[in-house]
Each structure stands twice: as C-alpha cells, then as structure tokens.
Amino acid sequence: MRRTLDKKLLRNLLTMRAQIIAIVLIIACGVASLVTMLTSYSGLTTSRDAYYARYRMADVFAPVKRAPRSVLYDVERIPGIREVQGRIVFDVTIDIPWIAQPCSGRTSSVPDRPGRILCGLHMTAGSWFEGDGTRQVILADRFAREHRLKVGDDLLVLMNNKKQPLRIVGIAQSPEHVYLIRGAGDIIPDHERFTVMWLSESFSESVFGYEEAINDILATVERSANVQEVIASIDQRLEEYGAIGAYALKDQASNRYLNDEIEGMEASAGVVPIVFLGIAAFVLNVLMGRLVRSQRGQVAIFRAFGYSNAQVVAHYLKLALLVGLLGAIVGSALGLWFASAIGALYKEFFDLPFYVFQIDTNAIAGGLFVSVGFATLGALQAVRAVARLDPAEGLRPAAPSTYGRTLFERVRPLWRRMGFASRMVLRHVARTPARAAMAAVGIAFATAIVLFTSYIYDAWDAMVDTQFRLIERQDARVVFHEKRGREALYEVRHEPGVLAAEPELVVAVELANGPRTRRTGILGLPRDTELHGLLDRSMRRVALPEDGLMLSQALADVLGVVRGDTLEVRVLEGERPVLSLPVTAVLDEYLGAFAYADIELLSRWLDESYVMSSVRLRVDPHYEDELGTALKDLPAVAAVTFKDRTVKAFRDTAEESQQLSNAVLLFFAGVIAFGVLYNTARISLAERARELGTMRVIGCTQREVGLVLAGESAVLTVLGLIPGIAFGIWLSWVLSKAYATELYRFPFVMHPSNVVTSVCAIVVFAVIANALVLRRLRKSNVIEVLKTRE
Amino acid sequence: MSPTDAKASLYSARGLTKIYVMGEVEVPALREVDLEVAESEHIVLLGPSGSGKSTLLHMLGGMDRPSAGTLAFRGRDLTHEDDRALTLFRREHVGFVFQFYNLVPSLTALENVEMAAEIASDPIDAREVLDLVGLADRADHFPAQLSGGEQQRVAIARAVVKAPDVLLCDEPTGALDASTGILVLEVLQHVNEKLGTALIVITHNEAIGDTADRVLRMGSGRIVHEARNETPRAPSEIRW
C-alpha cells in the first residue's frame, strides 16, 4: 500500500515538474543567498587570518625619519614586544616606457638572504637576490601582471635623483599590501601606476645613503600585550628620530579596507539572507498550500479507499519534505557555486595568494531547516483542510464556487463596457482576496528587488559623478616626494598644457574626540580653491574656515562629531603640536573619510609659511601625454594621476564587485516573479478547467480562453507592482541611510526611468510565465475535461 | 412533426469511426456509423455506458474529429477542419447542454447567457432567452445561488441564445429529480418547436425517448436499433 502511494508521489512530482521546479527555485534562491553570504564571509576571514599568520603580518608599524639600526635593540626590550624588524622605505618614480606618465613605487628593504621575516613575501616567480642584491628588485605581482613584466626584465627606476635600471629577480605578494593604495588621499588602487617593490638591505643602504640606518620599524607583540601601551612606549623611544607615531595593524590602510569589506559583509550577511529567505519561505508556504489544495479530488479518493486522515496528511508532507529538501540542496549547491565565484573575485581584488574556501555547514543547516520547515507548514495547513472533507464531497464535481458582486460593479458605466472575460477575471480575483494578496506580495517583492538593483547602479553613478565632477574638479594631480614651497607651484604652472594649478598639503594627524581617535591626513587647500568642491548636505559649496576643520560624513561618523563640536588635533609631523579645533562643517561626500583645512593654517603647524605636498592641475586635454612625459623627468615628482583614469579604475572596481551580486539579485527577482505567476496560472488552469473547457465548447477561441487566465495574471501583476515600487524605493532609501563604510556610502537617487525599467522587467517575467501556461492550455485540450465525467 | 425525408439534411455521416488510442491499446468508440439528421429534428440517443453515444455527440458538435469516415454539416465537410474552424463551427451552429450544467461560476445567470451571445454573430436577446426558460426573475443570480434545475435552464438559455442550428444535450436531466427534469425537457422541446432548432439528446432514461421524433439505440459503437415516433409525447405525459 505504502509503496503505491510513494509511486504516486513520484509521478505527482513528475507531472507537476514545472510547478515544482518553480517552487524549488524560489526557496533555492533564498537558501543560496544565505549560503553565499555566510560562506564568503567565513572564507574571506579565514583567508585573511591564514595569510597574515603564514607570512607573519606585523602588529605594529613605526615609521621614523632616520634612526640607527641599533635602535632596534632598544625597541625589542619594550615589554610586550615579541619581534622587531627594521627596514628602509622610500617612494620612487618608475619609468614604464609605454606609459606617458611617471609611475610611482614604494621600495622596502628586506634582508639580502631569504629567511623568516615580518610581513614576509609570497614569491610567485623568480627567486631572492643574488649576492648583495645590487640593482636587483623583487616586484609586486599585481604590477608585474599589469605590465607583463617577467623575471629577467629591467625596470627603470628614479631613486635618489638617479635613474637606473633594476633587474627583476623575483615577483611576490605581501600581506601588507592586500589593498594597494599610495596613502591617505587615495581610495581606489591604481595597479597600473603604483606598486610596491623590495630591494636588498645592502642595496637600499647604499642607494639611499642609509648605511646602518633605517626609517621604518615593524613589530609583533605578545598576545597578552596591550597594543596601545606598546605603541606609546615605541613612540617615546623613537621620538628623537623624527617618529610620526607608530600605529597598530587595525589602522594600517590596506588592512583597514580588507576589514571594512569583512565587516560590511558581516553586517549584510545578518540582514540580506534573512530578507531573501523570508520572502522565499513566504512564497513557498503559499505555493505549497495551493499545490496541495489543487489535489482535492485525489485526496477524496484516498479517503474513499479507507486511508486514514493521518496517512493522507503524511503523504502530502512527504511531497513537501521532498520539495523543501530539493530546495535546500539546489540552494546550497548554488550558494557554494556563487561563493566560490565571489572567492575568486576576492582573491583578485585583495591580491591574496590563496583563498580558503570553507563550506559553512551552519548556513546549509539553517537553509535546510527553513526550506523544509516552510514547505511542510504550507502543505500541512492546506492538506488538513482538504483531508477534513467527506470523501463523497471531494469526489463530486465541485459545486459552483460562490461568487459575489465586486466593488467595481458599483461603477456601472465602466462595468457595462467590460467583456465577460474581464468580469470573470475581476470577480475571480475579488473572490479570493487572500490568495490574490499573497501572489501580489510575491510580485511586490520581485519588483522591489529589481528596483533596488537598478538603484545600486544609479547610486554608484551618482557617487562617481559627485566625487569626480563636483568635488574633485582637477584634471590631474602631481604628488611630490617632499613638501615644497611656493616655487613648486610656479614650476608646475610652466609645464605644457597646464591651465591652472592649486597647491594642496597633506599633514598626518591623529584626530580625537574623547576616546574616539582616528589617524588620518588633513588635506590643506587654498581657501578660495577652484579645483576642489566642498559641498554641504544640500550640495551647496561651502568655504574653508580660517581656523577650523571640515569633515566628510564618514569621518564625522567615525569620530562621533557633528558641526560645532571641537576636535583635538594631534599633529604627527614637525614639532607635533596638539590643537583644539572646531568642526565648522560636515561635508556630504560619498567616498572616503577626509578632513579639510586651510593650507596656510596647516603650513603654520609645520612651522612653515606656505608648503605643499602635491599640486592639483587643470590640463588642456591635448597636452596630457606631453605633460606626463615632461613630469617623468622631474626628480621632485613622485606621482601623477589623471582623473579620467582614476574614474575608470573606480568604475571597473565597482563593476567588478557589483556585477555578480546584481546578476544574482535579478535572477532571484525573476525566479520569484516567474514562480509566483506561473504557479498561480497553473493552479487557476487546474481549478477552472471545467469553466475554461465550457468556454471552448461554447465556441470561444483559445485566445479568448487564454485571456481569462492571462487577465488574472495581469491583475495580480499590477496589484503587486504598485506596492512593489513603493517597497523598492523604501529599501533603497534604507540602504542609503544604513549602509556606510569608510570607503563609500550610497547617495539616495531614484530616477523615474528606473521605475519604468523595473516594471518592464517584471512584465517580461510575467509574460514568459503566462506564455508557458498558455502553451500548456493550447496543448492540453480543455474540452477533454468535460468529456471525462459522464 | 413532419417526416424526416421531407426536410433538408442537417448532418450526414458516412462510415463514421472513432478509435481512441490509450497508450498502447486501441479502443474503438464508434464503428462505421451512418446517420442522417434533418433540420429541426428531435432525436434521442439511448444506450448503455460506453456504447459510443457521447463520442457521436462530440463528433457532431465539432469537439472531436473522426478517425475514419466522413461527417458533413449542411454539406460542409467537418472531417478535416482544423481547431480554429471547429471552434467557429461550434460558435455559429452548435449549442451544448451538459449533465453538470458547467456554468461559469463568476458570472451571473444573465452574464453566462450574454457570454455566449457576445461571441455569436446573430444572437437572440439574452433576457428574452432567460424568459423563454422561465428564469427572467433570476437573471442577476450567480450559479451558486441557483438550484440544479435552474442552473440547467440557464445552461440551455446559454446554448440557445446564439440561435444555433442544433442543440446537443448530454444527459441534461441526469442530475435532476423527476419534476425538475420534466421542466427542463419542456424547455428543450419548447426551443425545438419555437425556434426550429434541431435537438439531439443523450439519455439513459428510456421514457424520454417517447418525446422524440426518432430514437436511436446504440451499442458497442454502432447504431443497433432505430425507431420513429409518429406522435411524440409531451414531457409531462411521460412516466419518469
């Protein structure tokens, strides 16, 4: 007996396969989102930890002006310090012949002979130095790939005012540079124009004139040590050597961006999958219920044969269990696949030598639980109602369903003009308002997801537009190796193609608001700056104060200050004054966390009248290459960045990281919209077979009958679209308010065209779903339904 | 009623055969049936279950195509018509009445009738037809609010409103009690007489044969006996 029932179950699954597939896909998407996010989160976290541990990432970084190597013995004795290493770090200019502008690099010294060092190198090609390493370099893997440089090639480097070729002996990756940016002012890596590289200690000493000296110290600390206390001791010990202040790993730029991503993911992994899984569970619940209800006749037959209520219920629970199980399996597989794709993206984006892909069993277990749970719940509610019917009741052709007049009918002139098909559709929808509402809710979710996805695209666009058109108004920026006086401005103004030039000065500081501190650079600008737009919340330009700071929203959030608050500014350069300055404005910037002040004020802190660390330029586009080439030969120039390229790099980065998740979101929306409408129409087709068959017998064409089914879908779609648009706008608004990392925050923009696009997308899904059902209607001769019962 | 031969031919079937292929088994439902139906003729089809009467009715109504043989309606060959043409044929010429009424539950009695009227080329007024079946006062009721007999009369009105040439009724009284059944038969006969619509009725009820011009008895897919009533009786006169 039981075996027969199981066979029936299997055949049921086969005959309803299209509906089952649609339902399974919906729950699979929910499960997939959970598995994807949690797996990616644990994958990136584990990869970071393993990379840092295996290559001995430093815990503390302490740059100085110049210190004798012997100071390392003193630092090593500081309580809490475990290991210390000194090195020589310099910014250099690289001349890549096929690039019109100078590229910049940062050289770090490593021991002549390979060994266990802090911030170790993961060699991807070549080997360590030969002999004392003179004129040899180990190049960063990313830059080498970007320019197709190989071991054995020469790299033309301007070091200490001397241009010389360095032979590439090795290519490597380092845990110190998972996110490679020049410094405080940069947000997006420019892999084409900036790199790190490693020189031998001997060669570094001779080329930079640092015999037995160092300018950077790396240290690891004991697990039990208080890092802040260790840093304070180091600062004290190194003060006489021009230390600008040691900082912990958590403040290291590259690590901070990596951690930002991990934290962002942790935050969204707690919300997004729950929303998705919730939507999927809801739709699953509804669809399972309807699926079981459509089996009314079969349930009656079981009961007539003498199967007990419990047996019938168990039978359908098996169906639900199978559907839930399938959903969990497909979802987990899909999630792991997405997660591995995201892992590959991360490995590239964060320049990791390996990515630890770990299957998150908790996520899979959670997905399984929700999937099976809601499928069972939906089926249970329905099957209990159906099983309660007397067998004879279920076997009789269903009595005509009770219909009533709808509200529309009050508008008599309109109602009179409607054809019978429209009347049937409206009365049918109005008769089962709960069911209609559920389908509409599904459509609303799908609409919201599509709208939200298009919002993310627009938000990126708006972000780029604000940042690179309204805020950064320069065409190019020239960064100097050292701070320079006014003469640098005049010098640069005379270079080819330069239309205007403005100075800027970055001063390293620690900003403090009580216990909240942030090590950053303050960007000094002329008070009448033309090449930088400082915009307040209403996008109005504001002028720099004579004696105060302006903060970008992200930095203000980190420090917990608002306009009018006072910040303690600990300058980390020169005489290291400590000042108290008011925050005169919080700027509505979407990218990065910056502080701004008057350049003259900043210069005074350094005991200078007017200095600059870089110059912003407006450039005649025809002269870009000529300008770049000219700047290549200026020893004082460390780097030149052209805005167009930055924007492109930014867009590429954004696209890279967004494309996959957007594709997944759209797929999910499609599956929901399609699944809901397809199932609704299929169930309608099953429930109303006699009605539709009668219409055919009377002489209605396939088209006219199809119109009744499609009409119902259309009404449900419209009912869902309207709240869906509102929900999507709300979701976008919430994201713009809630989601903010230091790297970026989303502006709220909503173009009417997005709404149109979203509506079109949902309509396309609806049309596909209906086309399939109508094809089925055409293939299955509905007249047959009427013939069978006599 | 005048004799059949004096009237023009409505249907003409020759060697009509229908074989259903059920998986690997061939089930002959109709075997080489020859049949002539005259305009306005009233025929009753009798026979046990599976004798082929429903199959014949479906064939006549353009709901099914024969496996062999020919079927002509007023000289028009229906044998090879496609689905679209058969749909139009049903729309213009045929009215169906089923045992289980099959009204559209979301439309009122009047709207059910109007639905059929809307797609017909020269329909009768829907209210007039409802009046004809004695349901003018129930026009605005939904099927769920009507009794079985009332629903069947709405179904007849729906079949009649497009002024078809033939009414095909499959056990129209099968689900009704005697008095309601008689009422329904009266309506059918009324339509036949008043509008001149040919009437072909399937039934298990031998007595109903007395109301027809001709009674065809079917068995094993063939017409096994044919009888003509020179004086058909009124439904109220028959013993149920």
Per-residue model confidence as pLDDT tens digits over A385-395: 766 766 666 65
Q: How far apart are CA A135 and CA A121, in angstroms?
A: 19
CB contact under 8 A, B87 and A690: no
pLDDT reported for residue A786 = 65
Q: Who wins on pLDDT, A306 or A454?
A: A454
Whether B71 is in a domain gets the answer no
Judge whether B128 lies within some domain: yes
**Dihedral (CA of A613, A618, A620, A621) sign:** positive
The mean pLDDT of A16-44, rounded to a whole number, is 85
Q: Which residues from chain A sit within 8 angstroms of residue B54, using beta carbons?
A: 787, 790
Comparing A378 with B66, the larger pLDDT belongs to: B66
Contacts of A427 in chain B (CB under 8 A): 106-107
pLDDT at A389: 66
Q: What is the pLDDT of residue A748?
A: 85
Higher pLDDT, residue A756 or B103: A756
pLDDT tens, residue by residue, A97-120: 888 778 889 999 999 999 889 999
**Which range, of A363-377, A401-415, A591-605, A657-671, averages the lowest pLDDT?**
A401-415
Please state, in angstroms and rounded to a whole number, the distance separating the CA atoms of residues A275 and A280. 9
Chain A residue whose CA is closest to B145: A402
B117 → chain A, closest CA residue: A698
Looking at residue B161, what DSSP letter applies? T
With b for 16 or more beta-carbon neighbours within 10 A and e for fewer, the A190-224 pattern comes to: bbbbbbbbbbbbbbbbebbebeebbbbbbbbbeee
DSSP label at A744?
A: B
Q: Using CB atoms, which residue from A424, A697, A786 is nearest to B107?
A: A424
- Distance separating alpha carbons of residues B139 and A73, to the nearest angstrom: 105
B73 lies in some domain:
no
Per-residue pLDDT tens over the stretch A582-623: 999 888 888 778 899 999 998 988 888 889 999 999 999 888
What does the pLDDT look like over A39-88, one tens digit per residue? 989 999 999 999 999 999 999 999 998 999 999 999 999 999 999 999 99
* SS3 label, residue A220: strand
**Residue A784 pLDDT level (bands cut at 50, 70, 90):** low
All residues of chain A having their beta carbon less than 8 Å from the beta carbon of residue B114 are 420
Interface A–B counts its CB contacts (< 8 A) at: 94
Tell which residue, A136, A181, A180, A142, has the closest CA to residue A154.
A136
Indicate the length of chain A as a whole number: 790
pLDDT digits (tens, 9 = 90+) for A224-270: 999 989 999 999 999 888 887 899 998 898 998 899 888 878 877 77
Most confident of A77-86, A305-314, A437-446: A77-86
Element (H, E) at A421: helix A420-431
In tens digits, chain B (240 residues) has pLDDT values of 334 445 688 899 999 998 887 777 888 888 999 999 999 899 999 888 888 888 898 889 888 888 889 999 998 898 888 888 888 888 889 888 888 778 888 888 998 888 888 888 888 888 888 888 888 898 889 888 888 888 988 988 888 888 889 999 888 888 778 888 888 888 888 888 888 899 999 988 888 888 888 999 998 889 888 888 888 888 888 876
Summarize pLDDT for A447-475 with one digit per residue, the tens: 998 898 888 888 888 888 888 888 888 99
Output the average pLDDT for chain A.
Answer: 85
The total of structural domains in chain B comes to 1
Contact between chains at B116 and A787 (C-beta distance less than 8 A): no
Residues of A in Cβ contact (< 8 Å) with B102? 690-691, 693-694, 697, 786
In chain B, which residues have their Cβ closer than 8 Å to the Cβ of A695?
104, 115
Quick check: is B15 in a domain? no
A398 contact residues in B (CB cutoff 8 A): none
Give the pLDDT band (50/70/90) at residue A398.
Answer: low
Q: Work out the minimum CA distance from A365 to partner chain B, whole angstroms.
A: 44
With respect to residue B53, please indicate whether it lies within any of the assigned structural domains.
yes
Contact in structure between A496 and A627 (CB atoms under 8 Å) = yes
Residue B105 lies in a domain: yes
pLDDT in tens, B170-180: 888 887 788 88
Q: A747 Cβ partners below 8 Å, 6+ apart? A: A459, A462, A463, A466, A590, A736
Say if B150 is an interface residue toward chain A (CB within 8 Å): no
Could you give the CA distance from residue A570 to residue A519 in angstroms, rounded to a whole number? Answer: 9
Whether residue A140 has pLDDT greater than 90: yes
Residue predicted with more confidence, A728 or A7? A728
Burial class (CB in 10 A: 0-12, 13-18, 19+), A321: middle
**pLDDT value at position A788?**
46
Q: Is residue B157 part of a domain?
A: yes
Q: Using CB atoms, which residue from A400, A419, A699 is nearest to B105? A: A400
Contact B239/A at CB under 8 A: no
**Could you tell me which chain B residue has the CA closest to the CA of A790?**
B99
Chain B residue numbers touching A422 (CB-CB < 8 A): none
Q: What is the pLDDT of residues A694-707, one digit of tens each?
A: 888 888 888 888 88
Numbered residues of chain A with Cβ closer than 8 Å to any chain B Cβ: 397, 399-404, 419-420, 423-424, 427-428, 431, 690-691, 693-702, 704, 783, 786-787, 789-790
Is B135 inside any structural domain?
Answer: yes
pLDDT of A790 > 50? The answer is no
CATH of the domain at B103: 3.40.50.300
pLDDT value, residue A426: 84
Among the residues of B61-177, which ranges form H helices? 83-93, 109-119, 126-132, 148-160
Nearest to A400 among B84, B91, B143 (CB): B143
Enclosing domain of residue B181: 40-66+83-234
Measure in Å the smallest separation between the Cα of A784 and chain B Cα atoms: 9
**pLDDT for res A701:** 82
Query: How many angstroms separate the CA of residue B101 from the nearest CA in chain A?
Result: 9
Which pLDDT score, from 0 to 100, does residue A399 have? 60
Q: Considering only CA atoms, which of A688, A788, A704 is closest in space to residue A400?
A: A688
Lowest mean pLDDT among A27-36, A63-72, A182-191: A182-191
First to last CA, chain B: 23
Residue-level pLDDT at A783: 67
Domain boundaries, chain A: 58-257, 432-472+647-790, 498-619
Query: Chain B window 159-218: which residues touch A at a Cβ cutoff of 8 Å?
Result: 159, 162, 170-171
Which is higher by pLDDT, A660 or A53? A53
The band of A789, judged by pLDDT with boundaries at 50, 70 and 90, is: very low
